[in-house]
Amino acid sequence: MYYEAKSIRGISLWQDAWRRLRRDWVSMTALSFLVLLALAAIFTPLIPLQSPIHQDLANRFALPPEFHSTTTEVDETTGDKTTVPVTLGLAGITGEEFDRKVDQLWAEPTSFDLLLLNTRLVVFGDWCLPSLCGTDLLGRDLLSRLFYGARISLIVGLVATLVSLIIGVSYGAIAGYAGGWVDDFMMRIVDIMYSVPFIFLVLFLITILSEDDVKTWLEARGISRIVILYIVIGAVYWLTMARVVRGQIISLKNEQFVDAARTIGASGLRIVFLHLVPNVMSIVIVYLTLTIPAVMLFEAFLSFLGLGVEAPAVSWGVLAEEGQRVITPVKIYWWLVVFPALALASTLYSLNFLGDGLRDALDPRMKNR
């Protein structure tokens, strides 16, 4: 009996969930796309893209998608046209001039970005990919701006969601475990905040924090507009998370494992965060996959209103806002609308498909099916 029992291997909930998730080709396709997108966003400077901020109105104004790495330059004095390759113009430049040129092309890149850029220059040299997605009204390469915009959009979505996760899970778990008047008081605060339109609340907070005096004070302490977006958006998206977690904690706090933890003298906070919260993480993970696209869409909405990401930084919301400005009856620069919208829609759909798959995979009632 002992050896027979030892030969039988049990399957945990997470192992069973991963097994069932792998059988869902839609969710796995969405997961693969998101992983590739995240890797592309992280290592964007390593890709031989053109500069996302370099402007060339004279020669590259609103060019449609093209598949050759050349451009036509016009001599302003003679009017002669010459075809030249699209390059970074960094070949043979060293020292301070190289640093200045890099700052002009990438707007003060971080140390990690500089490492990737130097690696890219060693591997690809000055060569750049053609403008596969065209150029905008300032002659900037749209493909490069899409890749660099993915970094901002994904970071805003992930960090703001993480802020809402920390606040919402902690708040809801404490309220659900405490019960009584503490729970009533904490949830009435949530009800009051629900009654305030969060869009106007966020707009109000960002407008106040964008005042010159406040902005100068924050920048002196290293708090930029992007950081403000993280905090403000995350600070208003935790309400539903708190309610969901509270309901789950109430259903679990009278289980035997909680009584056992109380018996051995575990404190209330230890029971909440080491015993109860891990048991609701499956629901939290599913909700996160639905919160991230909502946050990304909200960042795009703020950028669309001019209250989001500031130049020279770029996000998909900024690109969508720039695209809608060129929709006129005279001429439609379709590539400025289609490609940013396609990037944003693909990511949001993938997150929602992955969330649906995780919801089914993490459902204990479907274990071993």
Dump pLDDT digits (tens) for 214-271: 778 877 777 777 777 777 777 778 888 888 899 889 988 888 888 888 888 888 888 8
**pLDDT for position 40:** 92
Q: What is the pLDDT of residue 313?
A: 77
Nearest to 339 by CA among 350, 329, 347: 347
Report pLDDT for 22: 85
Cα(230)–Cα(152) distance, integer angstroms: 11
Lowest-pLDDT choice from 102-106, 112-116, 246-250, 321-325: 321-325
Q: Which residues, 6+ apart, have CB-to-CB distance to 49 below 8 Å? A: 128, 129, 141, 143, 144, 147
List, as own/partner pairs, every contact residues 85-90 make where C-beta atoms lie below 8 angstroms and the sequence separation is at least 24, other chains included.
Answer: 85/127, 86/50, 86/128, 86/130, 86/131, 87/126, 87/127, 87/128, 88/50, 88/51, 88/121, 88/126, 88/128, 89/126, 90/121, 90/126
Q: Tell me: pLDDT of 43 over 60.
A: yes
Q: Closest by alpha carbon to 347, among 281, 275, 297, 287?
A: 297
| Cα–Cα nearest to 336, from 346, 323, 326, 345 | 323
Residues 30-43+140-366, CATH architecture? Orthogonal Bundle (1.10)
pLDDT at 339 over 70: yes
Amino acid letter for position 308: G
Return the structure tokens found at 135: 């150029």
Give how far Cα 262 sits from Cα of 129, 238, 259, 272, Å.
62, 29, 5, 11
Query: Beta-carbon neighbour count of residue 257 at 10 Å?
Result: 11
Does pLDDT of 3 surpass 60? no
Q: What is the pLDDT of residue 237?
A: 80
Residue 359 near residue 279 (C-beta atoms within 8 A): no
pLDDT, the chain, mean: 81
Q: How many residues does the chain have?
A: 369
In whole angstroms, how far apart are CA 261 and each of 170, 220, 246, 268? 19, 47, 19, 9
Please choose, from the candidates 357, 347, 356, the residue with its C-alpha nearest in 3D space to the C-alpha of residue 295: 347
The whole-number pLDDT of residue 366 equals: 58
- List Cβ<8 Å contacts ≥24 apart for 86-89: 86/50, 86/128, 86/130, 86/131, 87/126, 87/127, 87/128, 88/50, 88/51, 88/121, 88/126, 88/128, 89/126
**Mean per-residue pLDDT for 310-333?**
78
Report the alpha-carbon distance of residue 147 to residue 14 in Å, rounded.
Answer: 33
Place of tokens 């030969």: 7
Q: Retrieve residue 211's tokens.
A: 């005042």
Q: Would you kindly state where each structural domain of the chain is located, as residue ranges? A: 30-43+140-366
Nearest residue to 47 via CA among 145, 135, 137: 145
**DSSP β-bridge partners for residue 51:** none
Q: What is the pLDDT of residues 173-222, one digit of tens each?
A: 999 998 889 999 999 998 888 887 777 777 777 777 777 787 788 777 77
Q: What is the pLDDT of residues 54-80, one digit of tens each?
A: 888 878 888 889 887 766 666 656 666
The C-alpha atoms of residue 135 and residue 213 are separated, in whole angstroms, by 36
Say if residues 229 and 156 touch (Cβ distance below 8 Å).
yes
Determine how many CB atoms are found less than 10 A away from the CB of residue 253.
18
